[in-house]
């Protein structure tokens, strides 16, 4: 009898503890989540540590630097923009957990620049971003599946899709490397498969095809890639992977004295990060790559010049590279979107503002933005570039020839689009 009473008492104690801990504070509802009279709270998950972190770990701080610059110059209609960064180590389950923290605990107004195809796919589904109507602005992924506006009504891309990139590379291969033996190393998930599908649709036939699983990239894995590529006699190799995988491939190739013509996908071609990963600059010399933005060293470009100044002051000690440029540009796009949504900021107004005014936003990339009521596609094209002996990127053929296309069966065409000018002092004044 005493034992039963004890059991009952213990279980009840456990229940009371559980109830008490769950009955913690419930915050009162605001007019709009993450927006107050003085602040707009934004969030991002990205790999700050782990195998995929080199390069990507700079994007959040670069965005933050730009927001601090804007805040010091009056903010967005007097509101300070705050960015909360969470480390997802490039793993989908951590991205889900951290996005939950951002939305449920930190109560951010919107996600900005979330990174990684597999991560965002998992986050969107698991957290239910569309159902919650949480805006997800300017995704740092080019998976063409995200351009499905019905499935992703609150998400907006910024990068040209991987399918667009593959179509443009395919055309470049046809025009410049016809008759050569081709090889490709690609990430075996939506990212790489998106590109591979577009290569196939464009009629590109690879003699050596090497998939790799995200997270398995290392010098040891790259040894097997190089062996296969060399054994297959690949003269031109397309690397369609993240920077850490590209770095491993180029580093091992240099050691093995295997030197095909490299064509590096835009995702993994940042020379500063590749050199930081130990890739000799001589290997980068002559590597060809599709590029959307000007070189981060091109100080004649008004965007690059302004962003470099902001980086020096607000992100001191950080080398200005493609990732910093991309992070600051997403910051610039975000501030324009927030301004376009008006003083009475709501999630609904923000989404509508990008749909109706987003295609006119100023952005560092050369190609047009595809935002409209029916499209959440960001930039729509690339130019081909070649790296020089300093690892700097120059337009292939001496001048920027911009190619635009879509993610479907549309043709690759040369575009005469002229991007909007950088707002004065890098501070948008749009409405």
Partner 1 sequence: MRKKIAIFILIGWVLLIIGDRVDELRVYQGAQMAMYTIALASIVLLTGYSGQVSLGNGAMMAVGGYGAALTLNNLGTPIWFAFLMAIVTASLFGALLGAAAARVSGPYLAGTTLALAVGLPAIANQFAFLGGEPGLFFDVGFPPERFGDEFTQYKWFFWIASFIALIALFITSNILSSRFGRTWRAIRGNSLAAELCGVHSSRMKVLAFTVSSGLAGLAGAVLAMTISLVAPGAYGLALSFALVTGAVLAGISSLPGVVLGAIILVFIPEISVALADRLGDADKLNNYLPGLIVSVLLILSVIFTPNGPGENLRKHLHKKPAH
Positions in 352-371 near partner 1 (CB under 8 A): none
Output the smallest distance, CB 148 to partner 1, in A.
16
Is 48 or 354 the residue whose CB approaches partner 1 more closely? 48
Can you tell me which residue has the tokens 């007019």?
A: 31
Output the smallest distance, CB 380 to partner 1, in A.
27
Output the smallest distance, CB 13 to partner 1, in A.
6
For residue 373 the two structure tokens come to 């009521």
CB atoms within 10 A of CB 82: 19
For residue 83 the two structure tokens come to 């960015």
Q: Does residue 195 touch partner 1 according to CB under 8 A?
A: no
> Computed over its alpha carbons, how large is the radius of gyration of the chain?
23
Select from 71, 188, 209, 285 the one that contacts partner 1 (CB under 8 A): 188
Is 168 or 210 the residue whose CB approaches partner 1 more closely? 210
Stretch that binds partner 1, among 117-125, 174-182, 230-238, 364-372 (CB under 8 A): 117-125
Is 99 or 404 the residue whose CB approaches partner 1 more closely? 99
**Beta strand 381-387 with 393-395: parallel, antiparallel or unpaired?**
antiparallel
Both ends of the chain: CA-CA distance in Å?
Answer: 75
Output the smallest distance, CB 331 to partner 1, in A.
17
Stretch that binds partner 1, among 145-153, 211-219, 296-304, 400-408 (CB under 8 A): 211-219
What is d(CA 98, CA 87) in angstroms, rounded to the nearest whole number? 7
Q: Does residue 17 touch partner 1 according to CB under 8 A?
A: yes
Q: Are 141 and 160 in contact (CB under 8 A)?
A: no
Q: Does residue 151 touch partner 1 according to CB under 8 A?
A: no
Stretch that binds partner 1, among 6-14, 71-79, 151-159, 377-385 (CB under 8 A): 6-14
- Which residues lie below 8 Å from residue 261, measured CB to CB, with a gap of 6+? 177, 180, 235, 236, 237, 286, 288
Output the smallest distance, CB 60 to partner 1, in A.
8
Question: What length does the chain have?
Answer: 431
Q: Are 191 and 212 in contact (CB under 8 A)?
A: no
Output the smallest distance, CB 191 to partner 1, in A.
10
Output the smallest distance, CB 101 to partner 1, in A.
8
Output the smallest distance, CB 193 to partner 1, in A.
11
Q: Does residue 24 touch partner 1 according to CB under 8 A?
A: yes
Q: Does residue 158 touch partner 1 according to CB under 8 A?
A: no
Output the smallest distance, CB 92 to partner 1, in A.
5
Q: Does residue 125 touch partner 1 according to CB under 8 A?
A: yes
Q: Does residue 430 touch partner 1 according to CB under 8 A?
A: no
Q: Does residue 348 touch partner 1 according to CB under 8 A?
A: no
User: Site mask, partner 1, residues 228-257, x = CB under 8 A?
Assistant: ------------------------------
* CA 201 to each of CA 167, 175, 236: distance values in angstroms, whole numbers, following the listed order: 8, 17, 19
Output the smallest distance, CB 86 to partner 1, in A.
8
Select from 31, 104, 259, 413 the one that contacts partner 1 (CB under 8 A): 104
Q: Does residue 21 touch partner 1 according to CB under 8 A?
A: yes
Q: Is the Cα torsion angle 45, 47, 49, 54 positive or negative in sign?
A: negative
User: Site mask, partner 1, residues 67-86, x = CB under 8 A?
Assistant: ------------------xx
Q: Does residue 347 touch partner 1 according to CB under 8 A?
A: no
Q: Which residues bind partner 1 (CB under 8 A)?
A: 2, 4-15, 17-19, 21-27, 48-49, 60, 85-87, 89, 91-94, 96-97, 100-101, 104-105, 118, 121-122, 125-126, 128, 131, 188-189, 213-216
């Amino acid at each position: 009898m005493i034992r039963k009473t004890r059991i009952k008492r213990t279980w009840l104690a456990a229940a009371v503890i559980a109830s008490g801990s769950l009955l913690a504070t419930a915050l009162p509802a605001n007019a709009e989540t993450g927006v107050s009279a003085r602040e707009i709270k934004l969030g991002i998950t990205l790999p700050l540590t782990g195998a995929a972190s080199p390069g990507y770990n700079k994007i959040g701080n670069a965005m933050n630097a730009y927001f601090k610059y804007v805040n010091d110059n009056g903010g967005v209609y007097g509101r300070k923009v705050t960015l909360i960064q969470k480390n997802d180590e490039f793993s989908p389950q951590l991205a889900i957990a951290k996005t939950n923290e951002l939305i449920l605990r930190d109560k951010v107004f919107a996600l900005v620049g979330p990174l990684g195809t597999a991560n965002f796919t998992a986050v969107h589904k698991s957290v239910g971003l569309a159902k919650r109507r949480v805006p997800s602005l300017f995704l740092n992924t080019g998976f063409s599946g995200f351009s499905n506006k019905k499935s992703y009504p609150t998400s907006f891309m910024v990068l040209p899709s991987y399918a667009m990139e593959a179509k443009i590379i395919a055309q470049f291969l046809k025009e410049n490397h016809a008759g050569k033996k081709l090889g490709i190393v690609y990430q075996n998930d939506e990212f790489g498969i998106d590109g591979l599908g577009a290569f196939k649709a464009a009629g590109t036939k690879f003699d050596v095809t090497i998939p790799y699983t995200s997270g398995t990239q290392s010098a040891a894995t790259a040894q097997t890639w190089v062996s296969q590529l060399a054994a297959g006699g690949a003269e031109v190799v397309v690397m369609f992977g993240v920077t850490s995988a590209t770095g491993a491939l180029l580093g091992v190739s240099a050691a093995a004295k295997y030197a095909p013509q490299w064509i590096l996908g835009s995702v993994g071609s940042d020379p500063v990060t590749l050199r930081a990963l130990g890739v000799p600059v001589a290997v980068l010399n002559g590597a060809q790559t599709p590029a959307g933005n000007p070189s981060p060293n091109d100080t004649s470009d008004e965007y690059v010049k302004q962003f470099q100044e902001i980086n020096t002051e607000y992100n001191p000690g950080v080398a200005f590279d493609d990732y910093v440029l991309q992070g600051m540009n997403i910051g610039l796009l975000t501030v324009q979107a927030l301004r376009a949504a008006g003083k009475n900021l709501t999630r609904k107004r923000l989404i509508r503002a990008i749909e109706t005014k987003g295609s006119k936003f100023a952005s560092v990339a050369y190609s047009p933005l595809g935002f409209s009521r029916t499209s959440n596609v960001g930039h729509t094209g690339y130019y081909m570039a070649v790296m020089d002996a300093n690892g700097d990127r120059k337009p292939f053929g001496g001048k920027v020839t911009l190619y635009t296309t879509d993610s479907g069966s549309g043709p690759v065409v040369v575009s005469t689009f002229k991007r909007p000018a950088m707002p004065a002092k890098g501070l948008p004044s749009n409405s």
